[in-house]
Protein backbone atom coordinates (compact mmCIF):
# COMPACT_ATOMS: atom_id res chain seq x y z
CA UNK A 1 0.00 0.00 0.00
CA UNK A 2 1.16 3.55 -0.75
CA UNK A 3 -0.74 6.66 0.25
CA UNK A 4 -0.61 10.05 1.88
CA UNK A 5 -2.23 12.29 4.44
CA UNK A 6 -2.03 16.08 4.51
CA UNK A 7 1.33 15.91 6.31
CA UNK A 8 2.97 12.62 5.31
CA UNK A 9 3.47 9.86 2.77
CA UNK A 10 3.07 6.22 3.80
CA UNK A 11 4.40 2.96 2.37
CA UNK A 12 3.03 -0.18 4.04
CA UNK A 13 3.74 -3.87 3.46
CA UNK A 14 1.70 -6.57 5.17
CA UNK A 15 2.52 -10.27 5.23
CA UNK A 16 0.15 -13.18 5.76
CA UNK A 17 0.99 -16.88 5.45
CA UNK A 18 -0.53 -20.32 5.86
CA UNK A 19 2.40 -22.77 5.86
CA UNK A 20 4.68 -23.24 8.86
CA UNK A 21 7.89 -22.39 6.92
CA UNK A 22 6.30 -19.15 5.71
CA UNK A 23 5.23 -18.23 9.24
CA UNK A 24 8.55 -18.99 10.96
CA UNK A 25 9.89 -15.45 10.65
CA UNK A 26 9.76 -11.88 11.82
CA UNK A 27 10.79 -8.70 10.00
CA UNK A 28 13.49 -6.50 11.52
CA UNK A 29 14.91 -3.10 10.65
CA UNK A 30 18.67 -2.77 10.20
CA UNK A 31 19.53 0.91 10.68
CA UNK A 32 23.06 0.41 9.32
CA UNK A 33 21.72 -0.48 5.87
CA UNK A 34 18.23 1.08 6.12
CA UNK A 35 16.72 -2.28 5.16
CA UNK A 36 13.85 -4.26 6.69
CA UNK A 37 14.64 -7.93 6.26
CA UNK A 38 13.48 -11.40 7.24
CA UNK A 39 14.79 -12.96 10.43
CA UNK A 40 13.86 -16.61 11.08
CA UNK A 41 12.17 -17.49 14.35
CA UNK A 42 12.93 -21.17 13.72
CA UNK A 43 15.60 -21.86 11.10
CA UNK A 44 14.84 -25.58 10.99
CA UNK A 45 11.16 -25.02 10.21
CA UNK A 46 11.87 -22.26 7.67
CA UNK A 47 14.37 -24.54 5.89
CA UNK A 48 11.52 -26.91 5.11
CA UNK A 49 10.34 -24.31 2.60
CA UNK A 50 12.13 -22.57 -0.26
CA UNK A 51 14.59 -20.23 1.46
CA UNK A 52 15.19 -18.36 -1.77
CA UNK A 53 11.56 -17.20 -1.58
CA UNK A 54 11.17 -16.95 2.20
CA UNK A 55 14.29 -14.95 3.11
CA UNK A 56 14.59 -11.52 1.46
CA UNK A 57 14.90 -7.78 1.94
CA UNK A 58 11.34 -6.49 2.21
CA UNK A 59 12.01 -2.73 2.38
CA UNK A 60 14.83 -0.48 1.17
CA UNK A 61 14.89 3.11 2.41
CA UNK A 62 17.08 5.34 0.25
CA UNK A 63 17.81 9.05 0.45
CA UNK A 64 15.20 9.88 -2.20
CA UNK A 65 13.00 6.78 -2.37
CA UNK A 66 11.38 3.86 -0.57
CA UNK A 67 11.00 0.43 -2.20
CA UNK A 68 9.03 -2.44 -0.67
CA UNK A 69 7.85 -5.82 -1.88
CA UNK A 70 7.28 -9.50 -1.21
CA UNK A 71 10.57 -10.92 -2.48
CA UNK A 72 14.14 -10.46 -3.66
CA UNK A 73 13.00 -8.26 -6.54
CA UNK A 74 13.24 -5.32 -4.15
CA UNK A 75 17.04 -5.50 -4.46
CA UNK A 76 16.80 -4.82 -8.21
CA UNK A 77 14.98 -1.48 -8.03
CA UNK A 78 17.08 1.68 -8.19
CA UNK A 79 16.04 5.31 -8.56
CA UNK A 80 15.37 6.19 -12.20
CA UNK A 81 13.41 9.43 -12.75
CA UNK A 82 10.01 8.44 -11.36
CA UNK A 83 8.66 5.62 -9.25
CA UNK A 84 6.91 3.84 -12.11
CA UNK A 85 9.95 4.14 -14.39
CA UNK A 86 12.21 2.85 -11.64
CA UNK A 87 10.02 -0.20 -11.04
CA UNK A 88 9.66 -0.95 -14.75
CA UNK A 89 13.41 -0.68 -15.34
CA UNK A 90 14.34 -2.88 -12.41
CA UNK A 91 11.66 -5.54 -12.81
CA UNK A 92 11.19 -5.88 -16.56
CA UNK A 93 13.05 -9.22 -16.74
CA UNK A 94 11.43 -10.73 -13.63
CA UNK A 95 8.69 -13.33 -13.48
CA UNK A 96 6.26 -14.58 -10.82
CA UNK A 97 7.61 -16.73 -8.02
CA UNK A 98 8.58 -20.31 -9.03
CA UNK A 99 6.31 -22.06 -6.54
CA UNK A 100 3.29 -24.30 -7.03
CA UNK A 101 0.92 -21.34 -6.63
CA UNK A 102 2.67 -19.08 -9.18
CA UNK A 103 2.69 -16.48 -6.42
CA UNK A 104 2.70 -12.96 -7.88
CA UNK A 105 5.53 -10.57 -7.07
CA UNK A 106 4.21 -7.26 -5.74
CA UNK A 107 6.36 -4.16 -5.37
CA UNK A 108 5.71 -0.55 -4.38
CA UNK A 109 7.77 2.62 -4.55
CA UNK A 110 7.73 6.24 -3.48
CA UNK A 111 10.38 8.49 -5.02
CA UNK A 112 11.37 12.15 -4.98
CA UNK A 113 12.84 13.60 -8.17
CA UNK A 114 13.93 17.21 -7.63
CA UNK A 115 11.11 17.93 -5.20
CA UNK A 116 8.37 16.06 -7.04
CA UNK A 117 7.15 12.92 -5.28
CA UNK A 118 5.80 10.06 -7.38
CA UNK A 119 4.24 6.75 -6.35
CA UNK A 120 3.77 3.43 -8.14
CA UNK A 121 2.71 -0.17 -7.66
CA UNK A 122 3.95 -3.08 -9.76
CA UNK A 123 2.46 -6.57 -10.14
CA UNK A 124 4.08 -9.58 -11.84
CA UNK A 125 1.81 -12.60 -12.16
CA UNK A 126 0.91 -15.57 -14.31
CA UNK A 127 -1.86 -15.01 -16.84
CA UNK A 128 -4.48 -17.60 -17.84
CA UNK A 129 -1.99 -19.45 -20.06
CA UNK A 130 0.82 -19.43 -17.52
CA UNK A 131 2.83 -16.66 -19.15
CA UNK A 132 4.31 -13.76 -17.22
CA UNK A 133 2.17 -10.63 -17.11
CA UNK A 134 3.50 -7.26 -15.90
CA UNK A 135 1.19 -4.52 -14.62
CA UNK A 136 2.61 -1.09 -13.70
CA UNK A 137 0.49 1.55 -12.01
CA UNK A 138 1.55 5.20 -11.88
CA UNK A 139 -0.45 6.67 -8.99
CA UNK A 140 -1.70 10.17 -8.33
CA UNK A 141 -1.88 10.31 -4.54
CA UNK A 142 -4.40 12.67 -2.99
CA UNK A 143 -4.48 13.57 0.73
CA UNK A 144 -6.07 10.88 2.92
CA UNK A 145 -6.07 8.28 0.14
CA UNK A 146 -4.01 5.14 -0.51
CA UNK A 147 -3.79 2.44 -3.17
CA UNK A 148 -3.52 -1.27 -2.38
CA UNK A 149 -2.55 -4.45 -4.25
CA UNK A 150 -1.93 -7.96 -2.94
CA UNK A 151 -0.67 -11.32 -4.08
CA UNK A 152 -4.01 -13.12 -3.76
CA UNK A 153 -7.66 -12.24 -3.49
CA UNK A 154 -10.88 -14.02 -2.63
CA UNK A 155 -11.53 -16.81 -0.17
CA UNK A 156 -8.84 -18.80 1.63
CA UNK A 157 -8.89 -21.76 -0.74
CA UNK A 158 -6.16 -23.65 -2.61
CA UNK A 159 -5.19 -22.68 -5.19
CA UNK A 160 -5.96 -19.12 -4.14
CA UNK A 161 -6.78 -16.79 -7.04
CA UNK A 162 -4.17 -14.17 -7.82
CA UNK A 163 -5.01 -10.50 -7.36
CA UNK A 164 -6.78 -9.55 -10.57
CA UNK A 165 -7.90 -5.94 -10.57
CA UNK A 166 -6.69 -2.38 -10.66
CA UNK A 167 -5.18 -1.10 -7.40
CA UNK A 168 -7.89 -0.61 -4.81
CA UNK A 169 -8.45 2.98 -3.69
CA UNK A 170 -8.81 3.37 0.08
CA UNK A 171 -9.61 6.27 2.38
CA UNK A 172 -7.08 6.56 5.22
CA UNK A 173 -6.89 8.56 8.45
CA UNK A 174 -3.45 7.64 9.84
CA UNK A 175 -2.32 9.81 12.74
CA UNK A 176 1.29 8.60 12.65
CA UNK A 177 3.33 5.60 11.59
CA UNK A 178 2.43 3.49 14.65
CA UNK A 179 -1.24 4.15 14.07
CA UNK A 180 -0.89 3.22 10.39
CA UNK A 181 0.74 -0.12 11.18
CA UNK A 182 -1.81 -0.93 13.86
CA UNK A 183 -4.80 -0.05 11.66
CA UNK A 184 -3.59 -2.32 8.86
CA UNK A 185 -2.66 -5.14 11.26
CA UNK A 186 -6.02 -4.97 12.98
CA UNK A 187 -7.89 -4.85 9.67
CA UNK A 188 -6.59 -8.31 8.80
CA UNK A 189 -7.54 -9.84 12.15
CA UNK A 190 -9.48 -13.09 11.67
CA UNK A 191 -13.15 -13.38 12.33
CA UNK A 192 -14.27 -15.86 14.99
CA UNK A 193 -13.33 -19.43 14.11
CA UNK A 194 -10.86 -18.48 11.36
CA UNK A 195 -7.09 -19.00 11.43
CA UNK A 196 -5.00 -15.91 12.13
CA UNK A 197 -2.79 -15.67 9.04
CA UNK A 198 -1.03 -12.43 9.99
CA UNK A 199 2.77 -12.52 10.08
CA UNK A 200 3.87 -8.89 9.99
CA UNK A 201 3.02 -5.33 9.01
CA UNK A 202 5.74 -2.80 8.17
CA UNK A 203 4.91 0.89 7.85
CA UNK A 204 7.20 3.71 6.75
CA UNK A 205 6.19 7.34 7.17
CA UNK A 206 7.95 10.12 5.22
CA UNK A 207 7.45 13.85 5.06
CA UNK A 208 6.23 15.58 1.90
CA UNK A 209 9.77 15.52 0.45
CA UNK A 210 10.29 11.86 1.47
CA UNK A 211 12.43 12.62 4.46
CA UNK A 212 12.03 9.70 6.88
CA UNK A 213 9.73 10.41 9.82
CA UNK A 214 9.30 6.97 11.31
CA UNK A 215 9.15 3.19 10.95
CA UNK A 216 6.80 0.81 12.74
CA UNK A 217 6.84 -3.00 12.54
CA UNK A 218 4.28 -5.34 14.06
CA UNK A 219 5.29 -9.03 14.13
CA UNK A 220 2.65 -11.54 15.17
CA UNK A 221 5.32 -13.86 16.57
CA UNK A 222 6.35 -11.25 19.13
CA UNK A 223 5.10 -11.72 22.67
CA UNK A 224 3.48 -8.29 22.36
CA UNK A 225 2.96 -7.67 18.61
CA UNK A 226 2.56 -3.92 19.09
CA UNK A 227 6.07 -3.57 20.51
Q: Where are the domains of the chain?
A: 2-219
pTM score, whole prediction: 0.95
Asked whether residue 12 carries a pLDDT value surpassing 80, the answer given is yes
Residue-wise pLDDT for 66-111, tens only, equals 999 999 999 999 998 899 999 999 999 999 999 988 999 999 999 9
Cα separation, 187 vs 45, whole angstroms: 28
pLDDT, average across residues 202-223? 94
Report d(CA 221, CA 23) in Å as an integer: 9
- Work out the pLDDT band at 227, boundaries 50, 70, 90: low
Contact indicator for 67, 77 with CB cutoff of 8 Å: yes
Q: Which CATH number is associated with domain 2-219?
A: 3.60.20.20
Instruction: State the CB neighbour count (10 A cutoff) for residue 142.
Output: 10
180: Cα separation from own chain's centroid: 14
Between CA 195 and CA 157 the distance in angstroms is 13
Q: How far apart are CA 30 and CA 33, in angstroms?
A: 6
Amino acid sequence: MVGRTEQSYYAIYGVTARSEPSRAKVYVFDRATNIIKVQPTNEEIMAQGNLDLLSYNAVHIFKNSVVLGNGKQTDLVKFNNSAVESLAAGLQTQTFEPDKHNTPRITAMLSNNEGKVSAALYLIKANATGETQHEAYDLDLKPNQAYFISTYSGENIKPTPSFNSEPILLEIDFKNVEDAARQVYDYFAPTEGEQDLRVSVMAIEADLLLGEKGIAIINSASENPYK
